[in-house]
């Protein structure tokens, strides 16, 4: 299990002429066992914040702690190792490699593939696939399965290292409504039943009912947070 604490995290980007602030100082904590949805219009800073949380992007200001250890200011290689060990990522596009089987796509996350996979690892892949409704797809090439199934394979790829934190950027945006619900149901279970810390960036209101906590961003600031007391102008139940 892992938790995250952000203190006055801000980010500027150079837009070609000047530094432009896209995230204003943000203070948030994230707990394991919760699915947090980070919502807000395009350009509001969701992906930037998720990238900072995921140790992919450095903040311009502020400090961040991962399970009590400060992670701002870590050397790149240390941050990369921590990212590999602690985080799984799911994106809008599953980004599977067509020339590899479903199983090998998942094993890519472990840096192994091919015929000589330890039995215990093969077993773990099979269990994961079954739990995601993908039993008997291990040997198939991605071209043979549907878009919704591909996205579930990308979740398996994120889970194979048993990460404490799962970060998802618009994971349902390329899916139809039904597959979007299936994927959100899986992410919810990964958070609540498996006690992981899950953050889902989305501007799709259909994901809101799955949120244990809904944070809304606008123009680089948090404008509402259901964990901070009263939901402000957010209809979580709809
Ligand atoms: N690498 C970058 N360089 C310059 N500007 C960026 C970069 N990444 C994001 N931005 C800007 O930061 C703002 C927030 O972007 P982003 O975090 O992607 O928003 P969202 O995910 O909510 O759509 C946007 O105005 C975007 O143009
Ligand atoms: Mg984005």
Ordered by where they begin, the domains of the chain are 4-228 (3.40.50.300)
208-224 burial by CB neighbour count: b if 16+ within 10 A, else e? bebbbbbbbbeebebeb
pLDDT of 111 reads 83
Residue 234 has pLDDT above 90, yes or no: no
| Mean predicted confidence (pLDDT) in 77-87 | 95
Lowest mean pLDDT among 114-118, 160-164, 225-229: 114-118
Average pLDDT, the chain: 93
Mutate to test the pocket of ligand 1, among 21, 40, 47 (most ligand atoms within 8 A of CB): 47
| Mean predicted confidence (pLDDT) in 130-150 | 96
Give 186 Cα–ligand 1 centroid separation in angstroms: 28
Give 14 Cα–ligand 1 centroid separation in angstroms: 11
* CB contact at 8 A, 171 and 179: no
- The atom number, within ligand 1, closest to the CA of 51 reads 17
Percentage of residues of the chain with pLDDT beyond 70:
95
| Mean predicted confidence (pLDDT) in 168-176 | 96
Dump the DSSP string for 54-122. TTSS--SEEEEEETTEE-TT--HHHHHHHHHHHEEEE-SS----TTS-HHHHHHGGGT--SS---HHHH
Residue 105 has pLDDT above 50, yes or no: yes
* Nearest residue to 219 (alpha-carbon basis) of 22, 3, 11: 22
For the chain, the helix, strand and coil percentages under 3-state DSSP, each to the nearest 5 = 35, 25, 40
| Mean predicted confidence (pLDDT) in 213-227 | 97
Measured distance CA(50)–CA(90) in Å, rounded: 11
Residue 173 has pLDDT above 90, yes or no: yes
| Mean predicted confidence (pLDDT) in 18-38 | 97
CA distances from 176 to 39, 71, 80, 224 (A): 19, 37, 34, 28
Name 107's Cβ contacts closer than 8 Å, sequence gap at least 6. Answer: 113, 117, 121, 125, 160
Name 181's Cβ contacts closer than 8 Å, sequence gap at least 6. Answer: 206
pLDDT of 238 reads 41
The region that residue 39 occupies, defined by phi over 0 for left and psi between -120 and 50 for alpha, beta otherwise, is beta
Ligand nearest to the CA of 44: 1
| Mean predicted confidence (pLDDT) in 142-158 | 97
Q: What are the pocket residues of ligand 1 if the criterion is a CB atom closer than 6 Å to any ligand atom?
A: 13, 15, 22, 40, 42-48
| Mean predicted confidence (pLDDT) in 168-178 | 96
Residue 210 has pLDDT above 60, yes or no: yes
Give 145 Cα–ligand 2 centroid separation in angstroms: 26
pLDDT tens-digit readout, 84-102: 999 999 999 999 999 999 9
pLDDT of 218 reads 98
pLDDT of 117 reads 84
Would you tell me how many other CB atoms lie within 10 Å of the CB of residue 14?
8
pLDDT of 116 reads 80
CA distances from 209 to 38, 74, 100, 229 (A): 13, 36, 35, 17
* CB contact at 8 A, 147 and 175: yes
Largest interatomic CA distance in the chain: 56
Strand, helix or coil at 216? Answer: strand
pLDDT of 229 reads 61
Measured distance CA(197)–CA(1) in Å, rounded: 8
* Nearest residue to 22 (alpha-carbon basis) of 44, 55, 41: 44
């Amino acid at each position: 299990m892992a938790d995250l604490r952000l203190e006055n995290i801000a980010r500027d980007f150079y837009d070609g002429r000047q530094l432009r602030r896209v995230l204003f100082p943000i203070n948030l904590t994230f707990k394991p066992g919760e699915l947090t949805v980070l919502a807000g219009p395009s350009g509001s800073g969701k992906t930037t914040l998720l990238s900072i949380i995921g140790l992919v992007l450095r903040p311009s200001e502020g400090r961040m702690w991962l399970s009590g250890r400060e992670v701002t200011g870590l050397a790149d290689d240390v941050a990369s190792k921590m990212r590999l060990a602690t985080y799984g990522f799911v994106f809008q596009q599953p980004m599977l490699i067509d020339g590899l089987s479903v199983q090998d796509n998942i094993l890519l996350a472990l840096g192994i593939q091919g015929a000589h996979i330890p039995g215990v690892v093969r077993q773990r892949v099979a269990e994961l696939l079954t739990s995601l409704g993908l039993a008997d797809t291990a040997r198939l090439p991605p071209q043979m399965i549907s878009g919704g199934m591909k996205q579930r394979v990308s979740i398996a790829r994120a889970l194979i290292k048993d990460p404490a934190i799962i970060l998802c950027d618009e994971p349902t945006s390329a899916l139809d409504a039904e597959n979007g619900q299936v994927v959100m149901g899986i992410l919810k279970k990964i958070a609540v039943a498996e006690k992981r810390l899950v953050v889902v960036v989305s501007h799709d209101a259909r994901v809101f009912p799955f949120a244990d906590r809904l944070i809304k961003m606008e123009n680089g600031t948090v404008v509402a947070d259901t964990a901070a007391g009263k939901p402000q102008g957010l209809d979580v139940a709809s």
